[in-house]
Amino acid sequence: MPKKSKLKASKDDIIRRLPNQWPEDLLPQIEEMVKGLGSKVAVLDDDPTGTQTVHGIPILTRWDFPSICKILREPGDLFFLLTNSRAYPLAEAVSINREIIGLLKQASLFTGRPISIISRSDSTLRGHFPGEVDVLVEELGGIVNGILIIPFFEEGGRLTVDNIHYVVEEDSLVPVGETEYARDISFGYQSSNLCQWVREKSQGRVLLEDVASISLETIRLGGPDAVRQELQNLKNNQFCVVNAVSYADLEVLVYGLLKAEAEGQRFIFRTAASFVRVRAGMHQSPLLTASRLGIQRNAGGGLVVAGSYVGRSTEQILAAQSLPDMISLEVEVTRIINPATQQQEIQRVAEKMNESIADNRDVLIYTSRQLITDSDPLQTQKIGRTVSKALVKIVQLLDRKPGWVVAKGGITSADIAAKGLQIVRAEVLGQVLQGVPVWQSVSNSRWPELIYVVFPGNVGDSQALAKVINCLRGNDLETSDVF
């Protein structure tokens, strides 16, 4: 367990000592530059929560050459490819990324549409790093100027100051190495300093002194030109940590970055979701409401599937269980991982689910809260995949279209979308809460025009899931009884 750090501090105290933000609104200029490039940004998302800052864009949960060519020919400057690679061992994750990058390169040549690739991963640093970045470097020619590490995610309270990555908890900034995310069985780490984190995760391959960083002083006092100059100093696949505490900081970075790229520099990006929106030149959209989604009261029983085990998810599940007319079904994980009882448990939950939805009752399906792990991280991942497959089988047994679906947790959301509901392609409509994206399935899915909410495990307060359910029940959040 990480040691208690002296770096925990008041959020206001840390923010107060920073220079003022760059005064100019740069997003209109970024938007203009992006349009002028004529290229398209492809986001390789290691779980579906990366769509939590964008709106009006497509996402593919499966990939093939015709589908990618079709999406490159369409208008728009951004699309997502859901790799779900965080659910797999490193070798499989690398193979998935290599296959997709190969298809993207072929489709780009075939359609004549240039592409820029972003590797989107967790704002709390869980994922296959540096493995997924390494394959990007290899497939894109072997040498780039720099590899930018940008885990800032405003909507989730993830800030980077003096190279220390923080998680906002109430009024405090907690170094990420002290949080439960750093103790992740598969992707754990010790370092909160991102330069040290790069060294740690590369197992010493990358030396600390070789990791560059762009400070908030550079961003806020020097502006885009100072950022461009620092980016031009990067060479030979050099890792570079980017500090940011606001979208204004990202706008300065991206404007300077686009200028550097226009002068011939090449970069690879390992980022959280906030960078994606700014790099695409996309403005923030208002939060979705029941009326904007066209959801009416009594539109049919909805379904919530919760697989995330972080502490906040458990709090949110408890709050959702207390909602009126909510049918709560626990999936016993010990029975799921036992081949002798697995099918019986799946059938038990599926039958109760179908009975309730047929009766226009909302159903909450959640995994038992005791996390079962193994000393071997690969075995732990295998247990997780077994549980996720069981949740998928339950959803596959749905005998009618639900009024809406919410999936809680990144890997759970990916599997329920792609396998349980056979959503091949969806449109990201926007966010129902900060950091909680809403998709709508298209015609080649099991149920077209289904509203599907991707609820990250590490986002929102204890009432957030209940608020979203209440919205989907037809109550705009502003007047919801849940508050």
Q: Model confidence over 328-376: pLDDT tens digits?
A: 999 999 899 899 999 999 999 999 999 999 999 999 999 886 766 666 7
Beta bridge pairs of residue 79 = 42
Which tens digits make up the pLDDT trace of 381-439?
Answer: 777 788 889 999 999 999 999 999 999 988 889 999 999 999 999 999 999 999 999 99
Sign of the dihedral defined by the CA atoms of residues 244, 250, 255, 260, in that order: positive
Nearest Cα neighbor of 465 from 277, 301, 307, 284 is 307
Token duo for residue 79: 């699309």
Burial class from Cβ neighbours inside 10 Å (0-12, 13-18, 19+) for residue 479 reads exposed
**pTM, entire model:** 0.90
Own/partner long-range contacts of 385-390 (Cβ < 8 Å, ≥24 apart): 385/87, 386/336, 386/337, 387/307, 387/331, 387/333, 387/336, 387/337, 388/87, 388/307, 388/412, 388/415, 389/415, 390/331, 390/336, 390/342, 390/345, 390/346
Burial class from Cβ neighbours inside 10 Å (0-12, 13-18, 19+) for residue 35 reads exposed
3-state secondary structure of 230: helix
Residues 6+ apart with CB under 8 A from 72: 40, 107, 108, 111, 113, 115
Q: pLDDT-based confidence at 70, cuts 50/70/90?
A: very high
Please, what are the domains in the chain?
9-279 (3.40.50.10840), 290-479 (3.40.980.20)
